[in-house]
Structure 1
């Protein structure tokens, strides 16, 4: 009964994963076929000891993921709390808040590239917030390109947290708030002792999912900056794409992918253990 499912999983999941691990131990460069062959751990040795761009891209990835998850969580929680209240035009405000989540990465890139263009006039407004100088393209400056890309992804990613947290907010029993009001709890106390504990499971899960997705984020960064200027916005997945799809160095690209996979695996296990996700659900 489960044979068709097992075959599909093996064909579309297990085989590609196995291929990546296999090629990570090979010299496989389409532009240099004369060097192809078994390399053992040479790709990994080169990665950790002779490739400064690997460490730079890993550092950029860590900063990117931490900044995105923390800021998206805080802003998403704030928006969810706001749109959970009763006020006029609440449906319209909810649609406005959630709409960026429906925008594709390429379309979001087009919107923000226009906003960052100094000739459109929006760059001046951004310069008032400390992003760029208003007369130069922020995406071409090493000091501002990374911040500009972070802001663009925040606009697209915040609704993810807002949607899931709002859904969990609406399941908080009203009796708990009534009991808190009876005990004289203020707004902050109700949030701290009633709302936040109820949201714990949703927050842990959304943070984990978003961390994994942001770690693997390629489309928006690639289409906005291509990893530049001076590799300031080159994350590890973008470096993998460059090695495999631009330089055709599939062996080294596979080795980078294996390391990325192990990083995410270890992070996910440690994160779930530290946050005690199952205990939070119980």
Structure 2
């Protein structure tokens, strides 16, 4: 006769441990998110509704949307916002063009290609402070590029390219272009490596030229990389503070002041934390729009 053995229930202690164990694993990460993301963002939104300057605490208090009303009438804000979009469009556009050209060139087979690729990608690996130091030396009016331009009679001796409203912008663009173009080149080159060479050979047999092969074969393969790189660089260039601050300081006469740099000047140097927080909220909303576009573009690229 077969004897039936009843199933034993697992100990209650083990069940409880299994229940809370996953939460214990994610608790440290959740705590870091709360400390370094949720709390700072919440504080910014809170102070954006306050008049808060530690230098004059007697005037501190709740002002509601007063800071945003002041921003709407702030000429410096509109000027910095306009320059920010100008900076992003020009910088990202040039980075895309030069990055595409670099990727197409170093994708070719030639002797020493590995060394050339390393040299092309090096600027992207250089720290931001080193980039600005290098270009400050290049733009030095007595020992750098300014001296050679003066020797050729193009500018006067002692003239700094960073001191003129017409030249400071393009001087900063060139410095950031040197660092940002390799990022486009890296992503585009990665996709170029996956393009079957049979497609190019078949196109040549059909009499297709270089432009036709680029439009019909190359571009469809690198389009997703270009879209993602463009949106990422747009967000990064929007938030660019270190290069412009160290090269031009936002000058001359505020002509190279972006919105994030204006936020830093207002909140840190002028100690207007309430007004600076309101400016940050506006920048935050703009970046949210960029993020939504990025996510939609990424999903569109994967579906296609």
TM-score of the alignment, normalized to the shorter chain, above 0.5: yes
- The 5 A counterparts of 1:23-102 are 23-49=47-73, 51-102=74-125
Q: Does 1:20 align with 2:41?
A: no
Which structure's CA Rg is the greater one?
2
- The 5 A counterparts of 1:181-260 are 181-260=204-283
The residue that corresponds to 1:278 in the other structure is: 299
TM-fit CA distance, 1:198: 0.8
Query: Residues 38-60 of structure 1, C-alpha deviation per residue, up to 9 Å, x if partnerless?
Result: 110001000012x1100010011
Instruction: Check whether the contact 2:231–2:290 (CA below 8 A) recurs between aligned residues.
Output: no
Instruction: Check whether the contact 1:118–1:134 (CA below 8 A) recurs between aligned residues.
Output: no
Question: Of residues 162, 166, 183 in structure 1, which corresponds to 2:185?
Answer: 162
Taking the aligned partners of 1:259 and 1:7, their CA distance within structure 2 comes to: 27
Taking the aligned partners of 1:120 and 1:90, their CA distance within structure 2 comes to: 33
Query: Residues 122-178 of structure 1, C-alpha deviation per residue, up to 9 Å, x if partnerless?
Result: 22556799xx72531111112211111111111111111111111111112333323
The residue that corresponds to 1:143 in the other structure is: 166
Q: TM-score scaled by structure 2?
A: 0.86
Instruction: Check whether the contact 1:25–1:43 (CA below 8 A) recurs between aligned residues.
Output: yes
Q: 1:190 to 1:65 in 2, by over 3 A?
A: same
Question: Of residues 114, 133, 141 in structure 1, which corresponds to 2:155?
Answer: 133
Question: Of residues 202, 213, 216 in structure 2, which corresponds to 1:179?
Answer: 202
Taking the aligned partners of 1:103 and 1:10, their CA distance within structure 2 comes to: 31
Aligned residues: 278
For residue 146 of structure 2, give the secondary structure of its aligned residue in structure 1.
helix
Instruction: Check whether the contact 1:24–1:254 (CA below 8 A) recurs between aligned residues.
Output: yes
TM-fit CA distance, 1:190: 1.3
Taking the aligned partners of 2:225 and 2:168, their CA distance within structure 1 comes to: 32
Taking the aligned partners of 2:79 and 2:150, their CA distance within structure 1 comes to: 27
For residue 139 of structure 1, give the secondary structure of its aligned residue in structure 2.
coil
Instruction: Check whether the contact 2:83–2:257 (CA below 8 A) recurs between aligned residues.
Output: yes
Q: 1:194 to 1:125 in 2, by over 3 A?
A: farther
Instruction: Check whether the contact 1:240–1:257 (CA below 8 A) recurs between aligned residues.
Output: yes
Query: Residues 204-254 of structure 1, C-alpha deviation per residue, up to 9 Å, x if partnerless?
Result: 100000000000000011011111110011110000011111111111111
Cα-Cα RMSD: 2.1
Q: TM-score scaled by structure 1?
A: 0.92
Please identify, of 116-125 and 254-263, the stretch whose mean Cα deviation from structure 2 is larger.
Answer: 116-125
Name structure 2 gaps, 5 residues minimum: 1-21
Q: 1:128 to 1:231 in 2, by over 3 A?
A: farther
TM-fit CA distance, 1:29: 0.8
